[in-house]
Every structure is written in C-alpha cells, then in structure tokens.
Structure 1
C-alpha cells in the first residue's frame, strides 16, 4: 500500500523534512502589489519576500489557495498514480477555504481516477481522506509528522485515520504576535473586526502582548502579558510544562516569522529544547510560511503540540 501525505503551504515544517518524506505541498499564492510568490515552503524565497515586501505592505497582501480544479488536476495528473491512498491534511477550515476546496475536489477525483490509474498499469482502487487539522501554522505540523511516523510503522489505514483525527482534535497552537498594529491592519484588510484600534493602541502603548491559542478550529486570546520577550518565555514555559506532563505524540513544532537565529535567541527557547530532549520529544522548527507571516506579521512565534485539554497558565 503506497500512502501519500499532502499538506498546504501554511503547514510550518522544515523544507528538508517535507522533501525527505515526499510530502506534497498545496501552494498558496501571495500577491503584494505587483510582487507575486507561490509559497512552496522554500525558506530562502520566503525570507527574501519577507525582507522585500512583507514588513512594509504585508497587511495588503492577497492570498490565493489552490482551487478545487487545481487540486483535482494535481491528483488526477500525479497522485492517483503515485499512491493508492492519500491523507490530505489542511489548515483549519474556519480560517481558509482550502479544506472545503479539497473536499469538493475529492468527489471529482474519486469519480475520475480509474482511467489515469489504468493507463499507468494500476487496476486497484484509489482512496483519499481529507482531514481538517483544526489548527494553523506550526500546530498543523503535528499531524503531518505523526502521519509520517504511522506510515513508516506500517499502521493500517483505519487506525491511521482515527489516530490523525484524534490528534487534530487535541492539538494546541499558541502564538505571540509582535506587532498588534500590523495584526489590526491585516484584520481590516480581510474584513475581520476582531482586533480593534483601541485594543491595538493600548497593547502597543503598554507593551501588552496577547497569547493566542488555536484549538479545535477556534482562535482566541487566552492571556495578556507585558513585553514580547516575556510573553514568549511564558509561552515556552507553558509548552515545556506540558511536555513534562506527557504529550499525546512525541512532537513539538515551532515556527518564527523571520530568521531562525532570532527564534533561538529568545528567552526560554533553550530550556524548552532541553526539556524536549530529556523527554524524548522531537522538535521541528521552521521559518513561518509566507501565508502565515502576511496574516500575523513579521516576528510572530508559534508553538504547537498535542495534549489533553488544559488551560494556559502564565508562570
């Protein structure tokens, strides 16, 4: 059984990991004025685009995910031949149309795949499962890493599906944005009024940073902490505490809206890495996707892991 894994480019995992494990990326195209880049998880290209365009005008960006027809064409032209069963793991459907596009495309794919497979010499059936990770950015990576582990272990398809859906429902993504004015400007561009001018102004004036949590499709503030570095340290401490209590999968993903050297210099980073190493939890860190950066701003930090339900408690 040849099992394929597909993610969208908002899923923050290292490019090397995606390539090594043949994970297919559905790119999201970002346009800022005349500048256009299809995000294929190329960190060098992302950082170049960040420095040239995102910092100044990122809030004006237009993002275009793969359409129903583009997903259909990718599968019928390649994936139904290369694989017998594909798990497509998408960003939460509450924040992007990618999941719904993939679901619509799946009907056409499952109706039309037989001629393509037969022409390639395969007479066995093809199956596709679209799974909503119910999260964003680094937190999306948790289910993708687990899918690779399950595939390598030879796990049965039904057990694999159930396991991935269980993790998706129990993955927690925590984010600290660096610039609340940027977050507000981006929200206004998208017609999202959840970040008001007053709260952005007060937050910036008082240097108060929100801790945002992605969980089961919802994104909401769970704490407000004075100082960006202090907030990040508290988030890292919280993640470390959950690692010591025991995660549901031995994976912790981190992403940063900029150079990874800046992430590694943040307070609490090394302590979190040490805790993960001592508890045999594998850490994956990557430059945040271009899609993520244009939505939450340069310098944002995200941590994702799967754990039992719990509350964020600043240390």
Structure 2
C-alpha cells in the first residue's frame, strides 16, 4: 500500500527531511502589510522575509491556512492518485483552523475520489486520516518523523494510526520567546489578552523569560527563568534528562527563529546533541517556520519529544 504523509508548513522539520521522504506540505500564507509569502518551508525565503518584515511589523501579520476547497483540490488533483492512504498531521486545532478545514475537506474527498482514480487506471479504494498533533511547531515534527519511520518499516495503516495518536498524546513541546513585548503585541493583534502590558514590561525589565509548554492541545507558561540564555540552557538540560530517562520514540526536534548558526551557539545545546548521540536519539533541527516566527517573534527557541513526563524542571 502506498502511504502518504501530509503536514502543514507550521511543522518544524528540516527541508531536506521533507524532500527526502516525500512529505507533502500544506502551505500557510503570511501577509504583513503589502508583503506576502506562501510559507512552504523554504529557509532562504523565510530568512529574507524575516529580515525585511518580521522584526518591525511581524506582530501585525495575517496568517491564512489552506481553505477547505484548496485542501480538497490538493487531494483530488494529486494525492488520491499518488497514494492509497494518507495521514494528514495538523497543528493543534485549538491554535489553528487547519485541522477543521482538513477534516471538513476529507468528507468531500472520500465522496469524490473514485472517478479520479478510475481515470488514472486505479481501481482500489482510497482512504485518509486527519490527525490532530495536539501540538505546534517542533511538537508536530515528532508524529511526522514517527510516521516516516513506521512507513519505512512496513507498518500497516491501523498500526500507524494507533501509534501516531498515542504519540500526539505524549508529545511535549517547550518554547522560550526572546522578546516579550513582541509576544504581547502579537497577542493583542490576535485578540488574545493572555500576555498583558504589565507582565511584558516586568518581564523585559527584569529579563525574566517564560517557558511555554505545548501539551495535549494546550499552551501555557510552566516556568520562568532570568535571562534568555539561562532559560534555554535549563530547557536543553531538561531535555537531556528526559533522553537519559528514556523517550517513547528516539526523536528530539529543535527549532530556532533565525539562522541555525545562532542556535548552535546557545549554552547547553552542544550537551543536548552529545546526550542524544550517546543514547541513540536522532535530533532534527530546523529553522522555525515563518508562521511560528510571526506568532512568537524571531530568536525564539523550542524543543520537543515524546515522554511520559511532561513536567518542566
């Protein structure tokens, strides 16, 4: 059976991994004023857009996922012919419309695929499953990597579905923003009052950085550390501890809101890489998606893994 894997462009995976394994990316359109970019995980285009627009006016950005009709067309024009079963792994439905759009589109796809496949000489059924990753950014990457591994190992569709849904339930993503004022302004633009002016001002004045956790569909602060570098070092050390204790899948994903050379210079990161190497855990590092950066600001750093322990510290 030909199994396809689809993610949205907010899923932080290296472009080389996406290309090598034929992962299909549903783009998200980002607009800042008159500047528009269709985010397709192109690192050069993302960096150029970042330097030109995100720093000054990124908090004003509008992000638009594929519509129900666009997702339907993507499947009927291509995917129902290329594959027999597709897993569509999306950002948490509590943070984006993508999951609901994909789910709604799936009904039309399953009702309309037969003539398309028959015209291509394919008489077997087609099926798809939309799975909420219950996470975002690097957290989405955990289920996507697991799907690639299981497909390569010859796992069946039912086995893959059960495993991916289990991974979604146990994936923990942690992120540290660099600029709380940006985060506050972005939240206000989106109508989210959770980051108030006073807390942003105090955090910046005292250089206190929140540690934000994404887990089982929710995003919330779970810790505060003085200094960005100290906060990232603590986050990386926590990840080292989870790796030593044993992860549910041998994967750690890391993303950074800017040039990856800056990520390699952060304290604690080299130790995380060494720890993962010692324990047979593969590290997937990527530039944060443009969608991610306009929501949390450039220079943010995030790490994710699947574990029975979702605590910070």
Alpha-carbon distance between aligned partners in 1 of 2:100 and 2:109, rounded to the nearest angstrom? 14
Alpha-carbon distance between aligned partners in 1 of 2:100 and 2:37, rounded to the nearest angstrom? 23
Name the counterpart of 2:122: 122
Kept in 1, the 8 Å contact 2:32–2:57? The answer is: yes
Alpha-carbon distance between aligned partners in 2 of 1:256 and 1:94, rounded to the nearest angstrom? 23
1:309 positional shift: 3.1
Name the counterpart of 2:16: 16
Kept in 1, the 8 Å contact 2:68–2:105? The answer is: yes
Q: How does 1:235-250 map to 2 (within 5 A)?
A: 235-250=235-250
Determine if the alignment matches structure 1 residue 171 to structure 2 residue 171: yes
Structure 2 SS opposite 1:222: strand
1:311 positional shift: 1.6
Name the counterpart of 1:185: 185
Q: How does 1:284-299 map to 2 (within 5 A)?
A: 284-299=284-299
Q: How does 1:122-141 map to 2 (within 5 A)?
A: 122-141=122-141
Q: Which consecutive segments of 4 or more residues in structure 1 shift more than 6 A? A: none
Structure 1 SS opposite 2:79: helix
1:310 positional shift: 3.5
Determine if the alignment matches structure 1 residue 227 to structure 2 residue 222: no
What is the TM-score normalised by the length of structure 1?
Answer: 0.99
What is the TM-score normalised by the length of structure 2?
Answer: 1.00
1:139 positional shift: 1.1
Q: Give unpaired runs (5+ residues) of structure 2.
A: none
Paired residues, number: 313
Alpha-carbon distance between aligned partners in 2 of 1:307 and 1:14, rounded to the nearest angstrom? 22
| Cα deviations by residue, 1:67-91 (Å, 9 ceiling, x for unpaired) | 0000000000000000000000000
| Cα deviations by residue, 1:253-294 (Å, 9 ceiling, x for unpaired) | 000000000000000000000000000000000000000000
Alpha-carbon distance between aligned partners in 2 of 1:28 and 1:302, rounded to the nearest angstrom? 20
Name the counterpart of 1:198: 198
RMSD: 0.4
Determine if the alignment matches structure 1 residue 74 to structure 2 residue 74: yes
Name the counterpart of 1:150: 150
